Chain A
Amino acid sequence: MTSTIETGSSIAGQTFMPSYDEDAAPAVPRQSLGRTTIDEKFVRIGTWASAFGLAWLLTQRLLPLPGLPWFLIMWFAAGLAVTAVTGLLTGGMIEVRDRVAGAVVTVGAMLVAGVLVSALAFVVMRGWRPLPHLNFYIDDMAGVGPKDPFTDGGILHAIVGSLIEIGIGVAIALPLGIGTAIFMTEVGGAFARVVRTVVEAMTALPSIVAGLFIYTVFIVALGYPRSGLAASLAIAVMMLPIIARAADVVLRVVPGGLREASLALGSSRWRTVWRVVLPTARPGLATAVILGVARGVGETSPVLLTSGAATFLVTNPTDGVMNSLPLYIYTTVRSGEPVAITRAFAAATVLLAIVLILFITARLLARPKRTKRSRSGRRFTQAPGLVGTNVVNADPLTEMGPVAPRDDLAELYPPALNEEIP
C-alpha cells in the first residue's frame, strides 16, 4: 500500500496499484507441506523399534518360536499392529489404512531386496575360499579328485568353454535376430506379420526344450558327438527369438518422425536404416543384446543336454565334450562332496561376476546422455501420453513382456479417441 498523493497532479486522490516484485524471494521461507514432520519421523522409526522389542519378547520369551525366520515374521506382524495403533492415535481408519498399506508395500520391497542380497552374499560367502588361489583361474580339473585341496585344479576349462559357447551362440543369434527385427519394423508387409507372430510364439519355448531339440536333431539323428558347437547351437536357438523380440521392441519406439525426415531429405530406405534408425536405437539394442547374453551365459539346461562335461581344457568347439560354468556348477554340486560343493560355489561367484560385468556394461551403454537443456537432474521426465518406452532407457526386461507400445494401435486411434474404444 504505497499510495501517495502527488501534489500538482490534476486528479486528487488517485489510487496506485501496489507494486509487486514477482522475482523477489518470499519474506518468510515457505513451509514445505509435503515433507514429513519430525513427529511423523519419530513415530515411523519408533514404531519399528517397538515392534522389534515386541517381536523379541514374543519369540524369545513367550512363544516357542525359535530361529531368525520366526523373529522376522513376528517383527513384521508386530510392526503392522503398532503402525495401525499409532495411526489410530492421530487419525481415523483412513489414516490407519494408508499407513498400514505403506508399511506393507515398503516391507515387501525390502524383502525382495533382502532376498537378492542374501543370494549374492550367500554364494560369495560359501565360495570365497578357492578364489584367492591363482590356480583356480588358470588350471582345469583334469586329474583332480573331488576331495583335493583348493591349491589343485581350477575352472579355466569351464570359463573358456562358457565364453566359446556363448560367443558362437551370439555370432549366430545376433545378426539373425537384429536382421529379423529390422525386417519386421522397417520392411514390413504381410510376411513380416507372419514372422513376428512365429517369433513371438517361440519366445515361449522353454530352454530345456530348445536343448532337447538340438540333442535330438544334431546328436541323435545326425550322429555328431556332444560338443561345444552343439551347445552353442542350443543357446542360439534359445536366444534367437528373445533377441529378435527385444530388438523389435527397441526399434519400434524409434520416433517415426526421424525416419520420415530422413526419407524426405531424399535418402534411401537403406541409408535411413543405417544412418538414422540404428544409431538412434543403439543404446537400447546394446542393452537388450547384453542382457540376452547374460541370460544365455547363465542358462544351464540347454548346455546340460548337448555339451557333455569335460574335466579338461577344450578350445575347439567341434572337438568333443566341452564344459561350461553353469554345467560345471551343476555337476559339481551333484557330487555331494563338501570340498567340491565349495568349488561349485566359487564357480558360481565367477559366473555371477561375469553376469555382473555384462550387466554393468549394459547399464553404462544405455545410460541416458546428459543434455545441456535438462537442468536439476530430472532426466527421466517425459511427456505423458507419449510412448511408454523411451528409446534410450527402454526397459530391458519388457523385451519379453507383452507391454511393447503398440504404435500400430496408436496410429489407428489418435489419443483423443482412446477413451471411446470399448
Chain B
Amino acid sequence: MTTLPVPDASTDVRPRKISRKATGADAVFVYSARAVGATVLVITGGVGLFLGWQGYPTLKHYGLGFFTEVSWQPDADILGIAGVLSGTIEVALVAMTIAFPLALLTALYISEYAPAQIKATLVSLVDLMAAVPSIVWGLWGFFLIMPHAAYFAIWLQRYFGWIPIFDVKGADPNAAVPDLSRYAASMFCAGIAVAMMVLPMSCAVMRQVFSQTPEGEKEAALALGATKWGMVRSVVLPFGRGGIIGGAMLGLGRALGETIAVLLILSPSFEIKPRILEVGGNTVSSLIAGRFGDASKTQLSALLAAGFVLFLLTLLVNTLAAVIVNRSRSGAGTDA
C-alpha cells in the first residue's frame, strides 16, 4: 500500500528569497560604475556651480547694472555685459541666417536628391567639415572672405542702407574710393566664418531626421502623382519640422559660444549697435579671450559671470532644441 507523502510540518518551507542585489564581480562593477558617474557629476556639476557661485560677488559689486552697462572699463571700475551680449546674439543671428538655409538645402540634397552612390561620401564630407578646426575657419574668413565681404557690404549699404542693420556710420558707399576699413572686421564677416562652423552640425541633425521619414508616405505621395519637390514639401519637410527647428537651434547654441574665429576677425568695440556691416563689435567669448590676462580678482569673477550668462544662454537654446526635436513626430520611433 502506498502512502501519500505527508508534508513534514516540522521544517518550514518558504519561497526562495529573490534578491536583485549584485554579488561578486557584479557588485564591483556596479559600485565602480557608480563611482565614475559620481566623479563626472562632481566635475561637470562643479564647473557649473563654480561659475554660478562666482557670479554672486559680481552681482553684489556691480548690481543689476552689470546687465545694462554697455562699456567694459576695468580702470574706471565700470563693467557690464549689455554690449558684448548684444554682439554675441547679433553674430550668432548673422551666422544662423547664412547657415540655416544652406544646412537645410544640403540636408535635403543628401537625403532626397543626391545619387545613391555618392550619398555616403557626402555625409562624410559634412562630418569632415565639422572636424575642420575653428582656427582654420577663422583664417579662411579673415584672409579669403573679408576682402570680398567688404565689397558686398558696400553694395548692401548702397541699396539697402535705409534698413538700420545695413547702415554704416561714417562711410559713403557712393564714394569713388570707398573707405574699405569701415566695412572690414565687422560682425557680418565674423558671422560668415561662424556660419561655416555651425552649418555641418545643423545639417547632420536635419539629415538624420529626414532620413527617418517613413518610406511608405514618400512613395504614397509619388504614387499620387506628386513631383519630387511636391513629395519633399508635403511629406519630408512636415515630418522633419522638429528636426529642422532643433538642428537650427543647436547650431545657434554652438554659434553663441564660438571664440577664436570671432576673436581673429572682429575688432573689439563696446557698444550696442544694430549695424552689422560696420567695423567693430564684441562677443562674450572674445571678451573673455581678450581680457582674462590683465584682469584683477573682481574683474576675473566678472568675466566668469559673463561666461556663466553665456553658458545659461547656450543651455537654454540647447534645451529648447532637445525638447522640440523630442516632442515632434520625428523624434519618436515611426511605424513602418
A-side interface residues toward B, CB under 8 Å?
67, 69, 94-95, 97-98, 101-102, 104-109, 111-113, 115-116, 118-120, 122-123, 126, 175-177, 179-180, 182-184, 186-187, 191-192, 194-195, 198-210, 212-213, 215-217, 220, 237, 240-241, 244, 268-271, 273, 291, 294-295, 297-301, 304-305, 326, 329-330, 333-334, 344-345, 348, 351-352, 355-356, 358-359, 363, 380, 383-389, 395-398, 400-403, 405-406, 409-410, 413, 415-416, 418-419, 421
A183 touches B54 (CB 8 A): no
Q: How far is the CA of A95 from the CA of B109 in the complex (A)?
A: 18
Q: A401-B201, A415-B333 are in contact. Are A109 and B208 (CB under 8 A)?
A: no
B109 touches A106 (CB 8 A): yes
B336 touches A304 (CB 8 A): no
B47 touches A213 (CB 8 A): yes
B132 touches A119 (CB 8 A): yes
Select the residue from B110, B120, B125, B229 with max chain A CB neighbours within 10 A. Answer: B229
Q: A69-B148, A270-B26 are in contact. Are A403 and B246 (CB under 8 A)?
A: yes
The residues in B between 230 and 255 inclusive whose CB is less than 8 angstroms from any CB of A are: 230, 232-233, 243, 246-247, 250, 253
Q: Could you mark each residue 300-316 of chain B with 1 if its beta carbon is under 8 Å from any beta carbon of chain A, else 0?
A: 10011001101100110
Taking the nearest CB of chain A, how far is it from the CB of B148, in angstroms?
Answer: 5
B135 touches A122 (CB 8 A): no
Main DSSP-derived SS at the A contact region? helix
B139 touches A385 (CB 8 A): no
CB-nearest residue of chain B relative to A301? B259
A203 touches B40 (CB 8 A): no
Within 8 Å by CB of B34, from A187, A208, A244, A406, lies A187
19 pairs of residues in contact across A and B, judged by CB atoms under 8 Å: A98-B228, A98-B230, A101-B232, A111-B102, A116-B129, A176-B36, A176-B43, A179-B32, A180-B40, A184-B37, A204-B257, A270-B25, A304-B260, A351-B135, A352-B133, A401-B208, A402-B322, A403-B205, A406-B333
Residues of A within 8 A of B38 (CB): 191, 195
Main DSSP-derived SS at the B contact region? helix
Top-5 shortest CB links A-B: A298-B133, A108-B105, A206-B257, A402-B322, A397-B204
Q: How far is the CA of A333 from the CA of B243 in the complex (A)?
A: 38
Q: How far is the CA of A213 from the CA of B310 in the complex (A)?
A: 14
Q: A333-B139, A363-B124 are in contact. Are A400 and B229 (CB under 8 A)?
A: no
Interface assignment of B50: CB less than 8 Å from any CB of chain A: yes
Residues of B within 8 A of A237 (CB): 43, 47
Q: Could you mark each residue 73-110 of chain B with 1 if its beta carbon is under 8 Å from any beta carbon of chain A, else 0?
A: 00000000000000000000000000001101110111
The residues in B between 126 and 145 inclusive whose CB is less than 8 angstroms from any CB of A are: 126-140, 142-144
Q: A213-B47, A216-B304, A299-B134 are in contact. Are A208 and B259 (CB under 8 A)?
A: yes
Q: How far is the CA of A392 from the CA of B124 in the complex (A)?
A: 14
CB-nearest residue of chain B relative to A410? B333
Taking the nearest CB of chain B, how far is it from the CB of A227, in angstroms?
Answer: 16
Q: How far is the CA of A401 from the CA of B336 in the complex (A)?
A: 24
B37 touches A351 (CB 8 A): no
A301 touches B229 (CB 8 A): no
Per the CB 8 Å criterion, the residue count for chain B at the interface is 123
Interface assignment of B220: CB less than 8 Å from any CB of chain A: no
Residues of B within 8 A of A405 (CB): 333
B148 touches A67 (CB 8 A): yes
Q: Could you mark each residue 192-212 of chain B with 1 if its beta carbon is under 8 Å from any beta carbon of chain A, else 0?
A: 000010011101110011011
Q: A240-B43, A355-B131, A406-B331 are in contact. Are A301 and B260 (CB under 8 A)?
A: yes
Within 8 Å by CB of B134, from A177, A187, A271, A298, lies A298
A398 touches B311 (CB 8 A): no
B102 touches A380 (CB 8 A): no
Residues of A within 8 A of B333 (CB): 385-388, 405-406, 409-410, 415, 418
B54 touches A216 (CB 8 A): yes
A388 touches B127 (CB 8 A): no
Q: How far is the CA of A389 from the CA of B331 in the complex (A)?
A: 12
Interface assignment of B30: CB less than 8 Å from any CB of chain A: yes
B48 touches A201 (CB 8 A): yes
A69 touches B246 (CB 8 A): no
A191 touches B148 (CB 8 A): no
Select the residue from A108, A112, A198, A271 with max chain B CB neighbours within 10 A. Answer: A112
Select the residue from B41, B126, B250 with max chain A CB neighbours within 10 A. Answer: B41
Q: A209-B310, A406-B326 are in contact. Are A122 and B105 (CB under 8 A)?
A: no
Residues of B within 8 A of A95 (CB): 227
Taking the nearest CB of chain B, how far is it from the CB of A179, in angstroms?
Answer: 4
Residues of B within 8 A of A111 (CB): 102
Select the residue from B44, B201, B329 with max chain A CB neighbours within 10 A. Answer: B44
Residues of A within 8 A of B152 (CB): 69
Q: How far is the CA of A174 from the CA of B332 in the complex (A)?
A: 30
Q: A176-B39, A208-B257 are in contact. Are A109 and B135 (CB under 8 A)?
A: no
Q: A115-B196, A348-B139 are in contact. Are A198 and B332 (CB under 8 A)?
A: no
CB-nearest residue of chain B relative to A400? B201
B105 touches A116 (CB 8 A): no
CB-nearest residue of chain A relative to B119? A380
Q: How far is the CA of A187 from the CA of B334 in the complex (A)?
A: 27
Q: How far is the CA of A108 from the CA of B126 in the complex (A)?
A: 13
B44 touches A105 (CB 8 A): no
Interface assignment of B64: CB less than 8 Å from any CB of chain A: no
Within 8 Å by CB of B334, from A389, A398, A415, lies A415
Interface assignment of B15: CB less than 8 Å from any CB of chain A: no
Taking the nearest CB of chain A, how far is it from the CB of B176, in angstroms?
Answer: 13
Taking the nearest CB of chain A, how far is it from the CB of B105, in angstroms?
Answer: 3
A401 touches B204 (CB 8 A): yes
Within 8 Å by CB of A294, from B50, B131, B232, B336, lies B131
Q: How far is the CA of A298 from the CA of B131 in the complex (A)?
A: 8
Among the stretches B159-167, B178-186, B274-282, B285-293, the one at the interface with A is B285-293
Taking the nearest CB of chain B, how far is it from the CB of A212, in angstroms?
Answer: 5
Q: How far is the CA of A268 from the CA of B148 in the complex (A)?
A: 64
A176 touches B40 (CB 8 A): yes
Q: How far is the CA of A293 from the CA of B309 in the complex (A)?
A: 27
Q: How far is the CA of A294 from the CA of B333 in the complex (A)?
A: 31
